[in-house]
Amino acid sequence: MTASGPGKTISVLQITDTHLYASSDGCLLGLNTEQSLQAVTTEARLSHLGSDLVLATGDLVHDGSAAAYQRTFDHLSSLGIPVYCLPGNHDETEALRDNIATLLDSTRPGSEGGHLTPAALKTLEARLQAAPDTHTLVCLHHQPVLMGSRWLDTMAVDNRDDFFDLIDCHPQVRGILWGHVHQEFDRMRNTVRLMSTPSTCIQFMPGSSEFALDDTAPGYRWLTLHADGRIETGIQRLAEIPGTIDLESAGY
DSSP per-residue letters across 81-94: S-EEE---TTS-HH
Count Cβ atoms below 10 Å from residue 74 Cβ, excluding itself: 9
pLDDT range class, residue 102, cuts 50, 70, 90: low
For residue range 135-167, what is the model confidence (pLDDT) as tens digits? 999 999 999 999 999 999 999 999 999 999 999
For residue range 17-38, what is the model confidence (pLDDT) as tens digits? 999 999 999 999 999 999 999 9
For residue range 190-227, what is the model confidence (pLDDT) as tens digits? 999 999 999 999 999 999 999 999 999 999 999 999 99
Q: Residue 90: its pLDDT value, please?
A: 86
Cβ(77)–Cβ(159) below 8 Å? no
Q: Residue 180: its pLDDT value, please?
A: 97
Burial classification of residue 38, based on how many CB atoms lie within 10 Å of its CB (0-12 exposed, 13-18 middle, 19 or more buried): middle
Q: Residue 142: its pLDDT value, please?
A: 97
Strands 10-15 and 53-56: parallel
φ, ψ (nearest 5 deg) of residue 27: -125, 140
Nearest by Cα to 32 from 222, 179, 202: 202
What average pLDDT does the structure give for the chain? 93
> Over 90: is that where the pLDDT of 237 sits?
yes
Q: Residue 4: its pLDDT value, please?
A: 47
For the chain, the C-alpha Rg in angstroms (whole number) is 17
* Domain residue ranges of the chain, discontinuous segments joined by +: 2-237
Fold of 2-237: Purple Acid Phosphatase; chain A, domain 2 (3.60.21)
> Over 60: is that where the pLDDT of 5 sits?
no
> Over 80: is that where the pLDDT of 1 sits?
no
Helices (H), the chain: 33-47, 66-77, 93-99, 118-130, 150-153, 160-167
For residue range 42-100, what is the model confidence (pLDDT) as tens digits? 999 999 989 999 999 999 999 989 999 999 999 999 999 999 999 998 887 776 665 55
